[in-house]
Amino acid sequence: MTQVLAVLGPGTTDAPVIDTATALAEIAHARVRQVSLTADLSAERAAARVLDALHSPGSLLAVLARDERPRPIWRRVAQRSARPVVLVPAAARGRRPEIRRVLLPLDGTAESAAAVAGTVEQLASAGVDLVVLHVFDAETVPRFWDQAAHAGRAWAEEFLARYCAQPGVRLEIRTGVAGEHILDVAAAERADMIALGWSQQLDPGRARTVRRAVLDAAVPVMLVPTASEGRDVGPYRQAGPP
């Protein structure tokens, strides 16, 4: 049977991680497998243990606490994992354990859409309400917007047809800095989780949107690696979408 990993460790508040893992396992018709990390492990060895488990056959994704102490390992795991990683903030404690609505920021590229396509399909088939968010900036704002009442609808239909063609999906459009709007819209929509495709690169100046979403979100954030053909991600090769 497939499994969703719940990574527990010293200094971790277990309940939010377990709740999130349980909710995702229910969606995926999987079981929850707990991976416990002891205090004596270095961050590198702890990450390696998680990655070993995550890349074993049948593992779909791993759920980790974002704010674990004393040594957060989520960066090491997320950057090297070929499978989705869900980061749970301590603030998620006390929220409802189900995942009923997911916010999907999409930047309008085929890569980001492809990264989350499998996740989207699985969430949609489980009846999860999906809200896509696209944020215009100076590079991506449309050239023409004839009549707002009609252009918005036409643009949304085409965007969803290209990047998230699931029945019942809604599109929210904003303009500005993606990271800021992701948090605002997640709150306004009462999303239970945010799912983002990402390139797994956290070099300075990169992945600003991911950093902002991960560090400041009050709900779990799923990071889904984009395609990794030709790129060395260590011993953990892309195993395909869960």
Partner 1 sequence: MLRAAQDLGFDQLLAGHRAAWAGRWEAVDVRIPDDPAAQLALRFALFQLWCNTRSGGELAVGARGLSGTGYAGHVFWDADVFVPPAVVSIGPAAAAAMIRYRARRLGAARAQARAAGRRGARFPWESAASGEDVTPAGVRLGGRVVPVLTGQLEEHVTADVAWAAARYAEWTGRPDRLARPLLAETARYWASRCRLDDARGAHIDGVIGPDEYHERVDDNAYTNVMARWNLRAAAGAADRAGLADAESRCWRDLADRIVDGYDPATGRYEQFAGYYSPEPLLVADFAAPPVAADLLLGRERVAGSQVIKQPDVLMLHHLVPGEVAAGSLAPNLDYYGPRTAHGSSLSPAVTASLLARAGRPDEALAMLRTALALDIADLSGMTAAGLHLANLGGAWQAVLAGFAGLRVRAGVLSVDPRLPGAWGSLQLRFRCLGRRVRLDITRERVEIAAGGPLLAGLAGAAAQARGWPGQF
Binding site for partner 1 (CB under 8 A): 136, 138, 141-152, 154-155, 157-159, 161, 172-175, 184-185, 188
E-only strand ranges, 78-117: 85-88, 101-105
Look at the block and give the residue holding tokens 């991960």.
214
Nearest approach, Cβ of residue 218 and partner 1 (Å): 18
How near is the Cβ of 77 to partner 1 at its closest, in Å? Answer: 33
How many CB atoms are closer than 10 A to CB 41? 16
CB of 161 to partner 1, least distance (A): 7
Spell out the residues 6+ positions from residue 107 whose beta carbon is closer than 8 angstroms to its own: 134, 135, 140, 178
In a 10 Å sphere around its CB, with 0-12 CB exposed, 13-18 middle and 19+ buried, how is residue 202 labelled? middle
Cα separation of 45 and 196, whole Å?
26
When the beta carbons of 139 and 232 are compared against partner 1, the nearer one is 139
Joined together, the tokens standing for residue 17 give: 């991680």
From residue 67, give the alpha-carbon distance in Å to each of 7, 79, 107, 147, 158: 12, 17, 27, 46, 39
Of 39 and 154, the one with the shorter C-beta distance to partner 1 is 154
Residue (of 211, 193, 191, 192) closest to 201 by Cα position: 211
Q: What CA–CA distance (Å, rounded) separates 123 from 126?
A: 5
